[in-house]
């Protein structure tokens, strides 16, 4: 079985709170391989491309506040590779709403916001991280965020044991 690739973003709240290192460490500790990474300030157009289905799934108001949030500062984008990387990373990230996200997950450990409170403030849920939801979504998102030359090929010490 070939390793999968998935897209992870440390959102502007994670960058501003100085959590880049701690979040990255969790993926490194799990043996996932960082095959590409960069810091990017996105604009509204790019945000629309990345969140192209949000208005349909979550409504126009969520799209509006999400774009405002995601363009409020730089994000750290990374492409991670590993066995069932999409599913494994989503498990480590936790549920969308930090209030309900389990302890031990990134969203559960570093945030506590509820949908209800964010909605009354007309603010996006600042939940630190984005991770591709499905293998198909991951392929599209990695392609949107990275050029081929920005994705690297090397062997980690973990792979020496796995393969
Ligand atoms: O990020 P995830 O795949 O868990 O959830 P999503 O349904 O794809 O929504 C994308 C992002 O929109 C979330 O991570 C939240 O930051 C934001 N969102 C929000 O601000 N308010 C909501 N009611 C729902 C989602
Ligand atoms: Mg999603």
Domain with 59 in it: 4-150
CA distance 129 to 82: 18
Q: Is residue 157 part of a domain?
A: no
Q: Is residue 60 part of a domain?
A: yes
Q: Whose CA is nearest to atom 5 of ligand 1?
A: 96
CA distance 93 to 79: 15
Place of tokens 């559960």: 108
Q: Is residue 28 part of a domain?
A: yes
| Structure confidence at residue 162 (pLDDT) | 65
Q: Please give the tally of structural domains in the chain.
A: 1
pLDDT, mean over the chain? 96
Which pLDDT band holds residue 159 (cuts at 50, 70, 90)? confident
> At residue 65, does pLDDT exceed 60?
yes
Read off the pTM.
0.96
Q: Is residue 162 part of a domain?
A: no
Please list, in sequence order, all residues whose beta carbon lies within 8 angstroms of the beta carbon of residue 60, skipping any fewer than 6 positions away.
none
Ligand 1 pocket test, candidate residues 49, 92, 110, 124, most atoms within 8 A of CB: 124
């Amino acid at each position: 079985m070939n390793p999968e690739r998935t897209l992870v973003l440390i959102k502007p709240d994670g960058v501003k709170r100085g959590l880049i290192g701690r979040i990255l460490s969790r993926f490194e500790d799990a043996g996932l391989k960082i095959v590409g990474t960069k810091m990017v300030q996105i604009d509204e157009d790019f945000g629309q491309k990345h969140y192209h289905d949000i208005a349909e799934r979550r409504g126009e108001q969520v799209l509006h506040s999400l774009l405002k949030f995601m363009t409020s500062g730089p994000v750290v984008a990374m492409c991670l590779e590993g066995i069932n990387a999409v599913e494994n990373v989503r498990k480590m990230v936790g549920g969308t709403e930090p209030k309900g996200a389990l302890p031990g997950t990134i969203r559960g450990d570093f945030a506590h916001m509820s949908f209800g409170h964010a909605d009354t403030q007309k603010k996006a849920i600042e939940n630190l991280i984005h991770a591709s939801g499905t293998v198909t979504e991951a392929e599209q998102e990695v392609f949107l965020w990275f050029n081929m030359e920005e994705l690297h090929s090397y062997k980690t010490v973990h792979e020496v044991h796995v393969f």
